[in-house]
Amino acid sequence: MLNKFFGTKEFYRRLIFLTLPIMIQNGITNFVNMLDNIMIGQIGTLEMTGVAVSNQLIFVFNLCVFGALSGAGIFGAQFYGKGDTKGFRDTFRFKMIFCIGITLLCIGIFIFFGDELISIYLKGDGSTKDAAMSLSFAKQYLFIMLTGTIPYTIAQCYASTLREKGQTVVPMVAGIAAVAVNMSLNYVLIFGKLGAPKLGVVGAALATVISRFAELLVVTVWTHTHKKENEFIIGAYKSFKIPKRLCGQILIKGLPLMLNETGWAAGIAVVNQCYSVKGLNVVAAINISTTFFNVFSVSFLAVGMSIGILIGQQLGSGDTQKVRDTARHCITFSVLVSLLIGIIYAALSGIIPYLYKTDLSVKMLASSFMFISAVTMPIEAFVNSCYFTIRSGGKTFITILFDSIFVWCVSVLSAFILCNYTSLPIITIYLISQLLNTIKGFVGFIFIKKGIWIKNIVS
């Protein structure tokens, strides 16, 4: 019976080989984001609130790019598994063209509608003066961050393509380089050290933008200087022609996936906006909780990305016999790891918020949010693994139903009603919202068991 849920030593060696670099990269990145957050929290609550709101908007952009890469990545992983270098190269070209177009569109939206988008998070309980100050800090941070979106997008196109062929170490090194630059410059520019001016939130934004260029430099230089290992890059820029049939296939399969990721991210942003109705202190507390959850959740998120690579390659090679076992073993591993991490996170939830120089009410709220997130982490891990498994076979409608439609029809709707039409405290509302993911997990279990997601889309 246990063999049904646990793989062989060779299986776990391969899984860890893929997962560990992704985990290290994301872990270091989120750890530095955490340090950034703490540094900004040392300046003041209003500054932290402004940056938190801007990061909500950037979060939607990042997920939009991630969705576009994921849609094309389904084809990339299967082309690589099939041994089709030309198809792999064409997929890379598609990523570059499509994702840069998305980035330019998002920059335009943020420039022309940035004030309005930021303001919807600042209408909760609190003084008008505090809201105006938070808006000012948010705008300063957002408009500087926009200059880093293009290098970020190009770097992600390269990194995702390398991961699809099983090369996860180089993106990890690029991420570490970016983190080192970001962390060093944050300390110097936020607090005005080593003779630099004290720039506060502006310094935090500048440090992040410069780190985006550092990440881009590492990943592109390595790819272009190791052409034997990366045959897809040979002639990749000689032409930007993509076969119409492939382009149409990626759009049919990938565009819904991109819209799903964007819809999910927008839904989460709206849920947080609903929470903000309960006060500006809630915005700050959610920011602290989310920042640290991102650090502690890298383990099961990395396993999810590895699931997409492993199953995608197996489907592309036509080895469907192992697909079910691989999915089951990965999901079990992800849930068990998240259970251990959740226990550690829960134990630290009463300590971490006190690292910030903010109001006691914010610290107490953040502590409660973190404890709830820790307890429900295994549910999040199971849902995440189900999502990547279903996505690997290109079943985009099921993915949308499972992800963004659920968020809007269940999470957003319940948060809106509970925050605006009940007198329930925010802690109770947050707990209910997190537990609703149990429904999503049950739906994911049914989809996985039926196996309707198992499909080779490049044969």
Closest CA to 385 of 302, 453, 314: 302
Mean pLDDT of the chain: 85
- Confidence label for 213 from pLDDT (cuts 50, 70 and 90): very high
**Predicted pLDDT of residue 54:** 87
Query: What are the residues whose beta carbons fall under 8 Å from the beta carbon of 417, sequence distance 6 or more?
Result: none
Residue spans per domain, the chain: 2-450
Please say if the pLDDT value at position 254 is more than 80: no
Q: Could you tell me the maximum CA-CA distance found in the chain, to the nearest angstrom?
A: 64
**Predicted pLDDT of residue 3:** 60
Residue whose entry in the numeric block shows the structure tokens 């992040």? 208
Task: Tell me the C-alpha distance between 15 and 302, whole Å.
Answer: 10
Please say if the pLDDT value at position 371 is more than 80: yes
**Predicted pLDDT of residue 458:** 56
Average of per-residue pLDDT across 352-376: 91
Please say if the pLDDT value at position 123 is more than 80: no
pTM to 2 decimal places: 0.76
Task: Tell me the C-alpha distance between 104 and 113, whole Å.
Answer: 14
In this predicted model, which residue has the larger pLDDT, 23 or 5? 23
**Tens digits of per-residue pLDDT, 148-168?**
999 999 999 999 999 888 887
- Confidence label for 6 from pLDDT (cuts 50, 70 and 90): low
Please say if the pLDDT value at position 182 is more than 60: yes
Please say if the pLDDT value at position 17 is more than 80: no
Please say if the pLDDT value at position 219 is more than 90: yes
Q: Radius of gyration (Cα) for the chain, nearest Å?
A: 22
- Confidence label for 372 from pLDDT (cuts 50, 70 and 90): very high
Query: What are the residues whose beta carbons fall under 8 Å from the beta carbon of 436, sequence distance 6 or more?
Result: 410, 411, 414
Q: b/e string for 22-37 if b means 16 or more Cβ within 10 A?
A: bbbbbbbbbbbbbbbb
**Predicted pLDDT of residue 280:** 78
Please say if the pLDDT value at position 457 is more than 60: no
Please say if the pLDDT value at position 264 is more than 60: yes
CA dihedral over 163, 167, 171, 172, signed as positive or negative: positive
Burial (CB count <10 Å: 0-12, 13-18, 19+), residue 423: exposed
**Predicted pLDDT of residue 218:** 95
Query: What are the residues whose beta carbons fall under 8 Å from the beta carbon of 355, sequence distance 6 or more?
Result: 38, 41
Average of per-residue pLDDT across 121-133: 75
Closest CA to 27 of 295, 293, 290, 212: 295
